[in-house]
Structure 1
Amino acid sequence: MPYFRPIALALCAFALAVPVAAQEVNVYSYREPALIQPLMDGFTEQTGIAVNVAFLNKGMIERLRAEGRRSPADLVFTTDISRLHSVVSAGLTQPVTEAKLTDNIPAAYRDPGNHWFGLTVRARVIYASKARVKKGGVTSYEDLADPKWQGRICTRSGTHSYMLALTAAYLHHHGEANTLNWLKAVKANLARKPQGNDRAQVKAIWAGECDISLGNTYYMGQMLADPEQQDWASSVSIEFPVFEGAGTHVNVSGMAMTKFAPNRAEALALMAYLAAPAAQEVYASDNYEYPIAPGTQADPLVQSWGSFEADPVNLSTIAELRSEALLLTELADFDG
């Protein structure tokens, strides 16, 4: 044994010289860093686990594929169901079984196979001119096809992910033929060619170019926070339309664990932290969205816009219809 003692001592000295790896979680995020950093800081303060966020405005799937097993990413954060579904469909995530997630995230807002989990929701609503549309004037998405709206609707491109999600939901409820007819009828009611983002449609209402538009709820909060856009926001009211026999179309921001997460335990801890009611309320408030954990409350400003019953269909079902919705949108020449 004396022969081995120098080797053993050398190994002990080497071990003491190598610092213990710091606990950390690495996140690839489509969500703006300023919106999530306060929560990341709170998690680090509570657990001692550092959170490193890489903001990506595009190319997440390509980057994860290129990195493969070498990827440092543990979690991905995205801003809508189509992106969540795309990452899962690309085989870049892993299922997560954790009671703290399933207890706080209702089934409609998580993947049936537990690959993705929603954190906040936003509704796809009608922005209506206070001056030219009576309150309660738009009650359903089907109503947008009524000729009474001819020349009165503004919208962004029909191929944008937010619009495709709505069309996919319409397809789920009404089938292919009815959805194609609906798209053609809505196009016939447009005041102008689809263009711009959701806020640009509200600006057009303020300018008198149209009377109603489709948009996500959080844009109202963003416009009210911008002095240059407050007049636009003040010129409209929010209407919560529904699908006949269902509810209001919603979308989610959410998270998923990557397939090769190198810091799985730390990543799971962050997921559980974000799914907790307190964190959801903060996360939702920062972007004027709705938390989804049982017993949570939206920010008072968001509550002031009114209440709604969300369409109960699981959002994975909607995401799976996205390709067909795109085909129907192109067949209708919606943007033409």
Structure 2
Amino acid sequence: MTLNKILLSITCLLSTNSTWAQDKVLNIYSARHYPTDEVMYSDFTKATGIKINRVDADDAGILARLKAEGAASPADVILLVDAARLWRAEVDGLFLPIKSAKLEEAIPANLRAKPADNVGTAWFGLSTRARVIVYDKLKFSKTDVDSYEKLADAKFKGRLCIRSGSHPYNLSLFGAMTEHLGPQKTEVWLKALVGNMARNPKGGDTDQIKGVASGECGVAVTNSYYLARLMRSTKAEDRAVVDKVGIVFPNQNNLGTHMNVAGGAVARHAKNTDNAVKFLEYLASPAAQNHFANGNNEWPTAKGVSFDNPALKAMTGGSFKSELLPISAVGMNQIKVQQMLDRVGFK
């Protein structure tokens, strides 16, 4: 066979299977900036042969990029770390609803988008984080801070530390409180929080925990996995921080502790849809769910998954009551919350 005939045969082969070059590729836009996740990506590639290309940014940056790229976007999978942003992306039509028996069986209905008739589900929650309260054990007790509402108590005047009110973690918490208390009572509560602040909001959640340990703050609000990192650290300074603070999962007697959701979806204009669905199904598997728990100190969302993370178990004593609000309710309150924050001067 001549060289020309060989080249012609190869060309014909590729033309009959135009997706051949894409069969083993998956493009991910991820807001999960955790080094421990690298293990999941590599394990998925080893198991499937599918190469992962990843773009990292925060939730807002990813959504802005998707809107700017439109149909030309190369993204196949979107991973976000905030419930309200998942809802917003769904409403803005940035996700491709999918049907997956594995995902629907694994992920509880309250931790995924409401399925559209005959279309599929837009996104699935893959892990959760509790929005907890830490306190100075020498100055306060658990009963002082056993609800979010008590953060407004006058005893915490000049004692509260919290990150920016406009951060997604706080916007989701405040959106949930708006749903529970109503806008008027929530605004009064937010104004009281501003009055109780030890300093203007700054830094991340770890900074709030360290502020309590140093005595700058008496109480602070944080996502649970930041504290779990310190609890599992081998550094003496981190262990010293943990020894000085107590932790409370608020509202155990009524509403339950607010849980934020990290989740995934197939991008609206995905070119590798089958690979994208395989990847989301993998993230709901026991192996990946255990990694969320043991690698990044998050709670798995898939039903029946057990894990062995000593920090998470030490925090809760084994179990706790979590809030069960629909994600859509939290999302729809975001604009209202931001307006309240502006009015009360919550920076």
Structure 2 segments unaligned to the other structure (5+ residues): 116-120
- Whether the 8 Å contact between 1:94 and 1:257 is mirrored in structure 2 is yes
Partner of 1:4: none
- Aligned residue in 1 for 2:315: 305
Q: Deviations over 1:195-224 (max 9, x none)?
A: 222111122111212211100000112234
2:276 matches 1:267: yes
Distance 1:264 1:272 in 2: 12
CA distance in 1, matches of 2:123, 2:153: 37
Give runs of ≥4 in structure 1 deviating > 4 Å: 7-11, 16-19
2-structure distance, mates of 1:326, 1:297:
38
- The farther-off stretch of 110-119 and 184-193 is 184-193
Q: Secondary structure at the match of 2:260?
A: strand
- Stretch deviating more after TM superposition (172-181 or 46-55): 46-55
Is the contact made by 1:109 and 1:117 (CA closer than 8 Å) also made in structure 2?
A: yes
2:112 maps to 1:110: yes
Query: Contact between 1:71 and 1:260, CA under 8 Å: does it hold in 2?
Result: yes
Q: Is the 8 A contact 1:33 1:53 kept in 2?
A: no
Name which of structure 1's ranges 85-94 and 72-81 shifts more when overlaid on structure 2.
85-94
2:31 paired with 1:37: no
Structure 1 segments unaligned to the other structure (5+ residues): 1-6
CA RMSD after TM alignment: 2.3
Distance across 1 between alignment mates of 2:6 and 2:45: 36
- One of 14, 28, 48 as aligned partner of 2:11: 14
Question: Do 1:248 and 1:309's aligned partners in 2 also have CA atoms closer than 8 Å?
Answer: yes
User: Shift of the alpha carbon at 1:226?
Assistant: 6.7
SS of 1:229 mapped into structure 2: helix
- 1:172 counterpart residue number: 179
Work out whether 1:318 is the aligned partner of 2:330: yes
- Conserved in 2, the CA contact under 8 Å of 1:104 and 1:277? no
CA shift at 1:167, angstroms? 0.9
Compute the displacement of 1:25 (Å): 1.3
CA separation in 2, counterparts of 1:48 and 1:185?
Answer: 54
Contact 2:144 2:150 in 1 (8 A): no
Corresponding pairs, count: 329
Cα distance in 1 for partners of 2:327, 2:87 equals: 9
Equivalent residue for 2:300, pick from 274, 291, 305 = 291
Q: SS where residue 88 of structure 1 aligns?
A: helix
Matched-pair identity in %: 36
Amino acid at match of 1:203: K
In 1, Cα distance between equivalents of 2:248 and 2:278:
38
- Structure 1 residue 99 corresponds to structure 2 residue 111: no
Equivalent residue for 1:198, pick from 195, 205, 211: 205
3-state SS, counterpart of residue 276 of structure 2:
helix
Distance in 2, matches of 1:9 and 1:221, equals: 60
Contact 2:190 2:346 (8 Å CA) reproduced: yes
Q: Is the 8 A contact 1:74 1:267 kept in 2?
A: yes
Flag the structure with higher helix content.
2
Displacement of 1:33 in angstroms is 5.6
Greater mean alpha carbon deviation, residues 291-300 or residues 246-255:
291-300
Three-state SS of the structure 1 residue aligned to 2:144 is coil
Cα 1:186/1:244, change in 2 over 3 Å: farther
Secondary structure of 2:315's partner?
Answer: coil
Letter of the 2:55 partner, please give it: A
TM value normalised by structure 2? 0.88
The answer to whether the aligner puts 1:137 opposite 2:137 as a matched pair is: no
Q: Secondary structure at the match of 1:193?
A: coil
CA displacement, residues 142-161 of structure 1 (integer Å, 9 cap, x when unaligned): 11122222222111122211
Residue in 2 aligned with 1:222?
229
Match of 1:3 in 2: none
Say which of 322, 329, 340 aligns to 1:328: 340
What's 2:118 paired with?
A: none
**Separation (CA, whole Å) in 2 of partners of 1:138 and 1:256:** 36
Rounded Cα–Cα distance in structure 2 between residues aligned with 1:124 and 1:160: 13
Partners of 2:191 and 2:113 in 1: how far apart?
A: 32
Answer yes or no: is 1:55 the counterpart of 2:56.
Answer: yes
Number of the residue aligned with 1:159: 166
**Greater CA drift, 296-305 or 176-185:** 296-305
